[in-house]
Amino acid sequence: MPVLNVDLGDRGYPIVIDSGILNQLQSFQPYLGKGRVVIVTNDTVAALYLDAVESALSPAVDVGSIILPDGEQHKHLASVNYIYDYLLENKYDRQTVLVALGGGVIGDITGFAAATYQRGIDFIQVPTTLLAQVDSSVGGKTGVNHTLGKNMIGAFYQPRSVIIDIDVLRTLPVRELKAGLAEVIKYGLIGDREFFDWLGDHSEEILALDTECIAETVKRCCEAKAAIVAEDEKESGVRALLNLGHTFGHAIETASGYGTLLHGETVAMGMVMAADLSRRLGMLDADQAGAVRQMLESKFAMPVIPPQIPQSQFLDLMASDKKAESGRIRFILLNAIGKAVITADVGPDALSETLCAGEGLCQD
């Protein structure tokens, strides 16, 4: 199996990427430890893959399961408490390993439960969406939402391994696939112009889930994410670049109501807004700003126009973002496609124009 490594010393871990490995005991066995195992999933993924994973693990370990409701609107402390209740009622100890079988919501909830149950137990990420495979399953960000902000409660807590079966993407709804592709395109925008161009050249094959193209896409994103996490685990520097589009996107997601728009959809909108703001500040030329929107909107048919949100609400939500410092909003902006920067030096007029641009984003 192709294996990448997240180099964090004694907290490092492998990322295994292959086809047809979800129902194979050898995919999991090196990371199971000596205790019992609990699979945490949601009702959508459970119907597709829970039996296969339980069957794979049951010859080697005692396996339990927790099925949560599907959706971002359930990414809250009550879901974490439901996991605690199950673990405590069934007397699971500190040798227990949790298996997060699902997308980014399940991975974040399960990781946070693992980080906090009995002051920390092991967990394995088994991402079943493209967004989770290329982004949220790698790097140890765990947590839940609050009504006043996304991902405001959580911890950095690394998994024991990340097991990625690209075959599961074939059961992913097209909308979810495209939402994941927003995070894929982000990697090209922040640091790899060649990858950005490659994605545009292979958009049809990627949307058709061509095995070779999807495998290459996932591998390149995981390589980039692993390198950034190894350099800056807790987002004190370069890792913040991974938040391109997220300051705008999180505000859109919170204002719209969790679950109304997919996370990746709001990131796509946010990246177009970031490109537009970069253009207005004279950092990014108009052609490249337009290319960002064209890639998302034309090549991959993603939504790029945010819903109408009062500017005061937009600014308040962005000011409450985790990346804000001393009351100043920090933005990830573009000097060029493939060259992202972190800055809080954004004039109010340019920001206001971007927030009000609507259909005119990235367009003169």
Catalytic residue among 250, 279, 293, 299: 250
Catalytic residue among 54, 183, 253, 265: 183
Catalytic residue among 150, 160, 186, 246: 246
CA atoms within 13 A on the CB side of 347: 9
String of DSSP letters for 319-356: HTSTT-BTTBPPEEEEEETTEEEEE----HHHHHHHHT
Whole-number Å distance between alpha carbons of 35 and 97: 7
Please say if 141 is a catalytic residue: yes
68 burial level (CB within 10 Å; 0-12, 13-18, 19+): buried
Please say if 250 is a catalytic residue: yes
Whole-number Å distance between alpha carbons of 6 and 229: 7
Total residues belonging to the chain = 364
Could you tell me which of 21, 23, 98, 100 has the C-alpha nearest to residue 54? 23
Catalytic residue among 119, 212, 325, 359: 119
Please say if 225 is a catalytic residue: yes
Catalytic residue among 235, 253, 279, 330: 235
Catalytic residue among 243, 279, 322, 330: 243
Please say if 246 is a catalytic residue: yes
Catalytic residue among 74, 220, 239, 280: 239
Catalytic residue among 75, 141, 186, 202: 141
Alpha carbon 234 to its chain centroid, in Å, reads 16
Please say if 243 is a catalytic residue: yes
Please say if 90 is a catalytic residue: no
Whole-number Å distance between alpha carbons of 328 and 163: 38
Alpha carbon 350 to its chain centroid, in Å, reads 28
Q: Identity (one letter) of the amino acid at 46?
A: A
Report residue 32 as tokens. Answer: 């199971």
Residues that are catalytic: 119, 141, 183, 225, 235, 239, 243, 246, 250, 263
